[in-house]
Amino acid sequence: MYTQSTDSLSQYIATQAKALSYPDNNILAFPISRNTYSLEANRYYFGHPEWSRNYLVACHQDGAFKKRWKTVIDNWQGQIVVDIGCGPGNIYRALHDHNGKPHLLIGVDVSLGGLQIAQELGYTAVLADAHHLPFVDGFADIVMLNAALHHCDDMAQVLREAARLVKPGGLLVTDHDPQQTAWKDSRFARWIWNARLPLYRWIKRGGHTTIEEQHWSTATEVHHQPGDGVTSDFFHQILEPLGFVVKCYPHNGGGAEVLRGNYGHPQLKMRLVQWLTGIDSSLPEAALLLMCVARKQAISKQDEVAT
């Protein structure tokens, strides 16, 4: 793996953004003005050396995930790639053997511990708040947010900030955020939702091996509750006015077939829950996850107005 100096970032940092320092670990850090519970949870959980490395190994490394993402990102040779909410570096660990090598791979997160692991994999690490990114507009070929939006207090603001970084013709990809319509918010649904936690601890599922780890892992997911999450309308309404052509793909963890409209079906236990709460599991709205692939037009609507 390769690692680049933070000096390579200088031309992409906004003039008004003032870095705190260039620490010995070569991670560029910017002030984080907010201090919400979910932000602190993300900082603590992904900064824990054991939990973060377990997350790196256990999450987003399966074959279907890799096929889906490699189909979307056909080639990133020589490109500038920004991974927002990169954590310990799951995306690049999954795709590092993909076609080509990025010219610059920037990982942004609030967790110093997570960034240090990502740096080992080849990320140029930046500690910053995804709600207020320290970068100039329109410099990135690819901006990625995998399992990131639902960890943020204001998903719309983070999505707009991510979109701001994409250059004309560039690509914005989000994935692994819960689809809001997969669950109905009801007392019964919340009972089922909470009842899963002891089972997860018993089987030692990633992120749930102890009560403490499970507490902080679930605390990071501020928008991962019954009746919460993202929708296709959410992406269309935010990104289309910014000049993006938006395509959304509901799925249940499938591979490249997801991009052809084959969203699959939830697991049997989830289909049972959906049936009990009046959701038709055969519909795309019942898929657990939602992927968004948005291409910024060469001339955006904003550019047309300016000219």
Region 123-143: what's the mean pLDDT? 97
Region 21-45: what's the mean pLDDT? 86
pLDDT at 22: 56
pLDDT at 190: 83
Count H helices and E strands in the chain, helices first. Answer: 11, 8
Place of tokens 């705190």: 20
pLDDT at 257: 97
Whether the predicted pLDDT of 1 surpasses 50: no
pLDDT at 305: 52
Q: Rounded CA gap, 178 and 144, in Å?
A: 16
Whether the predicted pLDDT of 24 surpasses 60: no
**Pairing mode, if any, of strands 244-251 and 289-296?**
antiparallel
Q: Tokens representing 123?
A: 């990320």
Count CB atoms within 10 A of the CB of residue 270: 19
How confident is the prediction for the chain on average, in pLDDT?
Answer: 91
In Å, what is the CA distance from 22 to each residue of 9, 26, 28, 155? 12, 6, 5, 29
- If pLDDT is split at 50, 70 and 90, which confidence band does 2 have? very low
Whether the predicted pLDDT of 177 surpasses 80: yes
**Pairing mode, if any, of strands 104-109 and 80-84?**
parallel
pTM for the complete prediction? 0.92
3-state secondary structure of 225: coil
pLDDT at 168: 97
Query: Percentage of the chain with pLDDT > 70?
Result: 94
Q: Rounded CA gap, 52 and 58, in Å?
A: 10
pLDDT at 307: 44
Weakest mean pLDDT among 36-45, 172-181, 195-204, 282-291: 195-204
Q: Tokens representing 235?
A: 């992406």
Backbone angles phi, psi at 241, to 5 degrees: -65, -20
Which amino acid appears at position 169 of this protein?
G
CA-nearest of 163, 226, 208, 222 to 39 is: 222
CA-nearest of 105, 245, 103 to 171 is: 245
Give the chain's end-to-end CA distance (angstroms, integer).
43
295-304, pLDDT tens digit by residue?
999 875 555 5
52-92, pLDDT tens digit by residue?
999 998 899 999 999 999 999 988 999 999 999 999 999 99
pLDDT at 182: 94
pLDDT at 200: 83
Alpha carbon 115 to its chain's center: 15
Q: Rounded CA gap, 169 and 129, in Å?
A: 25
